[in-house]
Chain A
Amino acid sequence: MSEVSPTGLTVIDDVKGGGHTLIFTSRLVIASNTTLQLSLLFAFLYLRANNFGSMWHPSGVGTPPQVLALIALALPIVGVVALLAVSNAVSSARESSAVTGLLWLAFLATVLTGAVRILLMYQFNWTLNSAGTYADVATLWYAVLLAEFIGVAAWLLSLVMGHVRGTDRLGSAHARAILEQWTYITGVSIAVYLLIQYAS
């Protein structure tokens, strides 16, 4: 049950039970995002299978640097673990200072993820118009994922700041929703990495 203020304008989410709308919508966004990822996957597989003009992956075009790519995958996993701990702590109403620390850790992980992924994209050493379509798909896909990581990072920051400044009660629904989004995007980025790196 959620409380509605007398004018009906302000809705206060109960820590335990509220936020059904938020989680539900967060999962809808995941569904919508899935169609976007599937469209990119279709482009990848279709262009690779047909190799039009022998320009899918011409010689001289490499793959993204391995080490940076792996770091870019490890960092969000740290964030997943931290958010999982936060979500568990909030839903069982445990002590709050640990939660604050975990939230900052998660946020740090997201910021570093973004930074590393930007650095990674700088390292792509191809010129798009002569590098074939593998390079095109890889660049676009990494750009889309970067935008998604930044979006979730911003959401997480608002959660952290609200908690730290005491302007918002950290609800379990909120924590759970952001955990699901972050896990989903991390999972997608791992799958994309495997495709781009090994199925080129």
Chain B
Amino acid sequence: MRNRATAIRVVVIVWIVAAVGGDVGLALGPIPPGQASDLASSESLVILVLSVIAWPVFSGVLAALFFTLVVNRLAPPTAEVSADALRGNTRVQTTWIATTLVIVLSLAVYGTVELAIDQPGAGISTTSASLPMPASQDQPLEVQVIAQQWWFTYRYPTYGGIETAQLVLPVNQKIEFHITSLDVIHSFWFFALGVKADAVPLNDNVVTAIPTQVGTYRVQCSELCGLWHGNMTDDTAMVVSTSDFATWIQQQTTLDAPVMKYLPPYSHIYAGSNLPQPGVYAP
């Protein structure tokens, strides 16, 4: 009996130490996707909260499993376990189910709240082709991400609808990504900004984020889109200061000038004969 009580105490203490230690480590360590945008920060917070709650529960269940499997075997033979403890105990069952229910519901509520903060009204927007108004610091800068097999291109309607092969964004400016595809389903994943949204043909998927850190980042396609899906990554996406951005836009506008007349007019979705016909392999 004394052995068992000691064992319980030891297991509980080990668990508390592991739980607290793990939670502290989590709180101190870098949590993906990082702090490079408001969206990313909020996602990091959610992942941190989930981890901080999940780790003690996870380690607690493991500790309980360890205890029952290894330590509790020293317990008296089955005959000494009371009859009603053998097949069930309503109080224990109810407590367990109620506890898990409460934890899970709280997580769901928390997630919903965070979602509402992150992405009010985000998702499919109307398929209208309206042109946006010029952006100021308070208004979002609209950047269209066009996915096709097998590269992303970007259009800036605010600056005449120029199309670029590199993504450059001004820091501390709210960006409104409009993501669409020309052929099959792709997915635009800007890991550092915490932005991921599927690019679906004839669909406009909207995500907003405010980049907060200058730097060079990686953009990748995260929905299997054919042969070169694995190559559809770009290490040259940049977040730069507002003045650098203005310079870059100027350069791009000059570069693009001779080809602008060949580009389709800016629209949130692109339909038409330039899309591959069904059943035909698009080279």
Q: Which residues of A contact B (CB under 8 A)?
A: 52-53, 129
Contact = CB atoms under 8 A, between A and B. Distances in A.
B156 to A, nearest CB: 26
A52 B202 contact: yes
Nearest to A52: B202
A52 B204 CA distance: 13
Contacts of B279: 129
A91 to B, nearest CB: 45
A129 B280 CA distance: 12
Interface of B: 202, 271, 277-279
A53 B270 CA distance: 10
A87 B51 CA distance: 63
Contacts of A53: 202, 271
Main SS at interface, chain A: helix
A53 B271 CA distance: 8
A55 to B, nearest CB: 10
A120 B181 CA distance: 39
Main SS at interface, chain B: loop
6 contacts: A52-B202, A53-B202, A53-B271, A129-B277, A129-B278, A129-B279
Contacts, number: 6
Nearest to B269: A53
B201 to A, nearest CB: 9
A129 B279 CA distance: 9
A197 to B, nearest CB: 27
B233 to A, nearest CB: 30
A127 B202 CA distance: 23
A187 B161 CA distance: 55
A165 B278 CA distance: 53
A52 B278 CA distance: 15
B123 to A, nearest CB: 15
A129 B277 CA distance: 9
A140 to B, nearest CB: 15
Contacts of A129: 277-279
Closest 6 CB pairs of A and B: A53-B271, A52-B202, A53-B202, A129-B278, A129-B279, A129-B277
A80 B279 CA distance: 42
A52 B202 CA distance: 8
Contacts of B278: 129
A153 B127 CA distance: 48
Contacts of B271: 53
Contacts of A52: 202
B250 to A, nearest CB: 37
B278 to A, nearest CB: 7
A126 to B, nearest CB: 15
Nearest to B278: A129
Nearest to B279: A129
A53 B278 CA distance: 14
A47 to B, nearest CB: 13
A49 to B, nearest CB: 13
A53 B275 CA distance: 12
A52 B275 CA distance: 15
A52 B277 CA distance: 15
